[in-house]
Structure 1
Amino acid sequence: MFCMQCEHTIVTPVAKGCSYAAGMCGKTSEISDLQDVLVYLIQGVSSYAHLARSMGIKDVEADEYLPQAFFSTLTNVNFDEERLVEYTKNCMALRNRLKAAYEAACAEQGVTPEQPEGAAQLDLSIDKAAMLSVAPQAVVNRGFEQVGEDIIGLRLLALYGLKGVAAYMEHARVLDQTSDEVYAEFHRIMARLGEDPTEMEELLGLAMAIGTLNYQVMEILDAGETNAYGHPKPVQVNMKPIAGKCILVSGHDLIDLHHILEQTKDKGINVYTHGEMLPAHAYPELGHKYPHLVGNYGSAWQNQQKEFANFPGAIVMTSNCLINPEVQGYAERMYTRSIVGWPGVTHVIGDDFSVVIDKALECEGFKYDEIPHYTTTGFARNALMEAAPAVIEQVKAGNISHFLLVGGCDGDKAERSYFTDIVKQAPKDTVILTLACGKFKFNDLEFGDINGIPRFLDVGQCNDTYSAIQLALALADAFECGVNDLPLTLILSWFEQKAIAVLLTLLSLGIKDIRVGPTAPAFLTDNLLTALNEMTGLKLITTPEQDLNDILNG
């Protein structure tokens, strides 16, 4: 195996990348190899989907299925080899169907069909042994000896960024939000990556195109969530349990939480969010409608083994961020959903969560109420726009000096104390915006307000980056300046591929001087970091003291 897609990547003085019997995320070498083969095959399917579109042929099933299958290879999503083999089997059938349709259309129109190179030529019988046998040609750092680490790094920047886009595409699709333009661009980029481009300029262009694509996806995802559940409104959420039977919902997909809330409303079961699901409380058709959505339990994804073990009810993982549930013995109370999978854990297919409800009723539940502790969330697009005039007035009056957007993924590295420390040390006339699970580094702190404007604004999930961008654009318009001229600094914590997609989105929009940490992604070489710094001002975090000094006085 070889993998370097997340922050847990093994980095030693002589090698970079997880290349042993198991990755740091817990996936085995076989799972990693099966994922590599699946990704390579998806690139080949996209080659023919792209060519077929040039002949006027669109395959809706392929459009929807390929991002789902690609999403399954994201960090901490699917560890179930049987399902990976099934994804590969289905993708092979789609490739053969698209190839036949393309070649038939060419024959009918008297056009000589193209013969795409690279991944499009992969052919294998679908079983685990056959897939593993071709893993060496599908490994993500293939061709390293010929092209070197900089080109491999750029290929991985694009590939991993596109994985994040695929995840957001699936989050949008389950809310009936799709775009033919998005699918066409996804296939174009995926197909080109399967041909192993070797030019730095082209690969940087692909990376920026992926950022632009992700902005489109986040726009339709925002529409899907707000059309279904209304625009979030700021709300206080209890972070402590109350007595009663219970279900915990983690991940990202609001639609699954909605199904569970609807099916439990008369069952005497309390429902809790976890991790990135916390912002669900702010949606009128979720948190404001169902009183048995009683609070949030626990914190960010990396703490789930301890938190889930102590949760006395059923647990549903709706999307990425799954960690081995067997270590702490709660696998029999856990249920996976959608793309997520772990061997032996019950997978819910369809919208009937009765098996989860039955388990919750069997479990002990919480015996007593704990003393409430609250955090506020829900400052998404509409709420931010409504607050914008008051915020602008306070900026013009000199009462707000700077905005710090501190967000992204959380993780367990000690260096992540930086994100807590920098918001603690930020002057009292600064406003802190946050999104994604990085908020759990400081959302239990008291920040106060600036003349009635909260100093702490939780925008929502990583899915809600679109809202933060809209605020920045609105402020720039109000001050008649560019976004980069605003008193706004972005400090992003990364862990996996969604964060890379978001970073590429921000860079593609021309946003400069972003700080990222706690460490550089292993696939970004020193040369690439230097190049990105020269192009965009992207830089690594240093210390809270130094960075605040540079931000506020530079």
Structure 2
Amino acid sequence: MFCEQCEQTASGNGCHQWGACGKSPQVNAVQDLLIHCLQGLAQVALRARELGIKTQVADLFTCEALFATMTNVNFQQQRFTEYIKRAIAIKEKLKAQIQQVSNTLENWSELACFEPDCNSSLVEQGQDISLKFISQSGTDIDIFSLKLTVLYGIKGVASYAFHAQELGQADEAVYQFCYQALVNLQCQDLSLNDWVNLALEVGKINLRTMELLDAGHTKTYGHPIPTPVPLNTKKGKAILVSGHDLKQLKALLEQTVNTGITVYTHGELLPAHGYPLLKQTYPHLYGHYGTAWQNQTREFAKFPGAIVLTTNCLMPPHEEYQDKLFTLGPVGYAGLSYLPGNSEGTPDFTPVIQRALELPGFREDEPPRQVMTGFARNAVLGVADQVLAAIGSGKIRHLFLIGGCDGAKPDRNYYTEIVEKVPQDCLVLTLACGKFRFFNKNLGEIAGLPRLMDVGQCNDAYSAIQIALGLAKALNTTVNELPLSLILSWYEQKAIAVLLTLLYLGIKDIRLGPTVPAFFSPNVLKLLAENYNLKPITTPDQDLAACLG
């Protein structure tokens, strides 16, 4: 087994015996085999596109399958076996269509012809494929490092594209690029500079993909507005929804109307409360329960209702609550109830509703307490004049964007401490589940504005980028010249895609933690430091002094 795609990889070097996330070597092997099959499908899909053949089925499947291989999404070996079989079936159907259109015998490569033997061990075949992929780069560790960066970045792009297409937003250029990048991963004749450029292209296409997702969210649910979200529970039956998927949350809300069930969000779905067409349409979308993904084993065990996991991040579940936990979409774990989607991808939530009605629910109301969310690009840029005036008068000295992924390592307390130490004349923007280190802290106000503003999910990174670009435009300067510091935490592959987007935009002086990616070789890390001044976090006091100096 070889896996180093997440921040918590064993010893900071790579997981070789068992995944730190809980992924088994067997699942890792069939994931590697699936990636190889997707590369073959990509090559055929590119040829189909040359001939004008529609590839929508392959487009959507490729994004979902790549999404499923991300950290803490799917741990179920059987589901990956099904993905592999489907990848082959879609590829062969496209080949038949190509044959009909071209009316010539195609000279398919070994990659396009690859088909695993489903009657023998897929695990062993996956292990062989993994070793072959590693050996292709020979002794050039820097090229291998960038290959992994591209692969992990494409996984992040695929997850955003998956969500965007759920909401009717797609761009053929995104799928075209993903296919080409998958094929390029097999290339052995690209230079180091070629791989650097390809990694930056991942960032470029990810920006477009996040733009599509932003359009899907805002056109469907309205632009987020600052909204108070209860953190206290109230008496009654309950369902908890975790993950990122707003479409599936809305479907659940529709199916629970008039059931007497209260719906709570968990993890990255906190910002859902800021979307007016969700919050105002469904009053039983009440509040937020719990914090970030790595605390779910404790929080899910205590929740007295049914639980739905829509996307990453899923922790290996404990027996005490797995009978009330349901998964859907690309998410899976052996022994959990899976909710298949209909032709539009929407599940029937009846089993969830029935389970919620069987469980006791909350027996009494808790004392009120709340946090604010909904400070997305429209909300913040809507008060840009107020922000700029406060900067000009000296009331606001500096802006910090402190956010990203959360995780279980103790050194992530850095993010709590640095927010607590940010001076009173500074604003803090935050997003993604990293905010749960400090999301309920009362930092007060400055110039009539809250000092802590929740921009949204990791899926809303586009919104944060637009805020920075909008402020820079208003000041007739660049993002790098703004009184703005980016202090980011990362865990999984969406964060890598976002980082590549920031680098593509030329944004410098990013502080990244709690550790740098294990798949960045020393030379690649040196290149990023020299060209972008990307640096690891140090201590809150040292970093604050540097940012404000």
Q: 1:128 to 1:25 in 2, by over 3 A?
A: farther
Equivalent-residue separation in structure 2 for 1:474 and 1:148 (angstroms): 41
After superposition, the C-alpha distances for 1:369-420 in whole angstroms (9 at most, x for unaligned) are: 1222211000012111211111111111111111100010001111101111
User: 1:19 is matched with which residue?
Assistant: 16
User: 2:163 is matched with which residue?
Assistant: 171
User: 2:344 is matched with which residue?
Assistant: none
Task: Give matches, 1:510-529, under 5 Å.
Answer: 510-529=506-525
Equivalent-residue separation in structure 1 for 2:132 and 2:535 (angstroms): 26
Q: Please state how far the C-alpha of 1:135 moved relative to its aligned partner.
A: 2.7
User: 1:45 is matched with which residue?
Assistant: 41
Paired AA for residue 436 in structure 2: F
Task: Give matches, 1:473-484, under 5 Å.
Answer: 473-484=469-480
Task: Give matches, 1:314-353, under 5 Å.
Answer: 314-325=306-317, 327-350=318-341, 351-353=347-349
Paired AA for residue 344 in structure 1: G
Contact kept? 1:11, 1:522, Cα under 8 Å:
no
Equivalent-residue separation in structure 1 for 2:267 and 2:370 (angstroms): 15
Paired AA for residue 225 in structure 2: K
Root mean square deviation of aligned Cα:
1.7
Is 1:6 matched with 2:3?
no
User: 1:182 is matched with which residue?
Assistant: 174
After superposition, the C-alpha distances for 1:436-470 in whole angstroms (9 at most, x for unaligned) are: 00010111111111121111110000111111111
User: 2:452 is matched with which residue?
Assistant: 456
After superposition, the C-alpha distances for 1:240-279 in whole angstroms (9 at most, x for unaligned) are: 2111110000000011111111111211111100000000
Q: Secondary structure at the match of 2:507?
A: coil
Contact kept? 1:88, 1:126, Cα under 8 Å:
no
Equivalent-residue separation in structure 2 for 1:189 and 1:217 (angstroms): 15
Is 1:202 matched with 2:194?
yes
Q: Please state how far the C-alpha of 1:197 moved relative to its aligned partner.
A: 5.5
Q: 1:453 to 1:90 in 2, by over 3 A?
A: same
Q: 1:524 to 1:141 in 2, by over 3 A?
A: farther
Paired AA for residue 379 in structure 1: F
Q: Please state how far the C-alpha of 1:123 moved relative to its aligned partner.
A: 2.3
Contact kept? 2:137, 2:144, Cα under 8 Å:
no
User: 1:540 is matched with which residue?
Assistant: 536
Equivalent-residue separation in structure 2 for 1:464 and 1:523 (angstroms): 25
Q: Please state how far the C-alpha of 1:98 moved relative to its aligned partner.
A: 2.8
Contact kept? 1:249, 1:273, Cα under 8 Å:
yes
Is 1:399 matched with 2:390?
no
Equivalent-residue separation in structure 1 for 2:128 and 2:91 (angstroms): 21
Q: 1:196 to 1:19 in 2, by over 3 A?
A: farther
Q: Please state how far the C-alpha of 1:147 moved relative to its aligned partner.
A: 3.1
Q: Percent identity?
A: 48
Contact kept? 1:402, 1:430, Cα under 8 Å:
yes
In structure 2, stretches of 5+ residues that fail to align are 342-346
Q: Determine which of 238, 244, 262 is the counterpart of 2:236.
A: 244
Equivalent-residue separation in structure 1 for 2:188 and 2:206 (angstroms): 22
Is 1:293 matched with 2:285?
yes
Paired AA for residue 147 in structure 2: R
User: 1:154 is matched with which residue?
Assistant: 146
Q: 1:532 to 1:328 in 2, by over 3 A?
A: same
| TM-score scaled by length of structure 1 | 0.95
Q: Determine which of 330, 350, 356 is the counterpart of 1:354.
A: 350
Equivalent-residue separation in structure 1 for 2:266 and 2:132 (angstroms): 33
Contact kept? 1:302, 1:411, Cα under 8 Å:
yes
Q: Please state how far the C-alpha of 1:503 moved relative to its aligned partner.
A: 0.5
Q: 1:139 to 1:240 in 2, by over 3 A?
A: farther
Contact kept? 1:282, 1:288, Cα under 8 Å:
no
Equivalent-residue separation in structure 1 for 2:189 and 2:251 (angstroms): 44
User: 1:384 is matched with which residue?
Assistant: 380
Equivalent-residue separation in structure 1 for 2:189 and 2:155 (angstroms): 18
Paired AA for residue 382 in structure 1: N
Equivalent-residue separation in structure 1 for 2:133 and 2:389 (angstroms): 52
Contact kept? 1:75, 1:496, Cα under 8 Å:
yes
In structure 1, stretches of 5+ residues that fail to align are none
Q: Please state how far the C-alpha of 1:125 moved relative to its aligned partner.
A: 2.7
Q: Please state how far the C-alpha of 1:55 moved relative to its aligned partner.
A: 2.8
Equivalent-residue separation in structure 2 for 1:217 and 1:380 (angstroms): 17
Q: Secondary structure at the match of 1:147?
A: coil
User: 1:261 is matched with which residue?
Assistant: 253
Equivalent-residue separation in structure 2 for 1:460 and 1:413 (angstroms): 23
Aligned length: 544
Q: Please state how far the C-alpha of 1:134 moved relative to its aligned partner.
A: 4.4
Equivalent-residue separation in structure 2 for 1:157 and 1:490 (angstroms): 21
Q: Determine which of 422, 428, 431 is the counterpart of 1:432.
A: 428
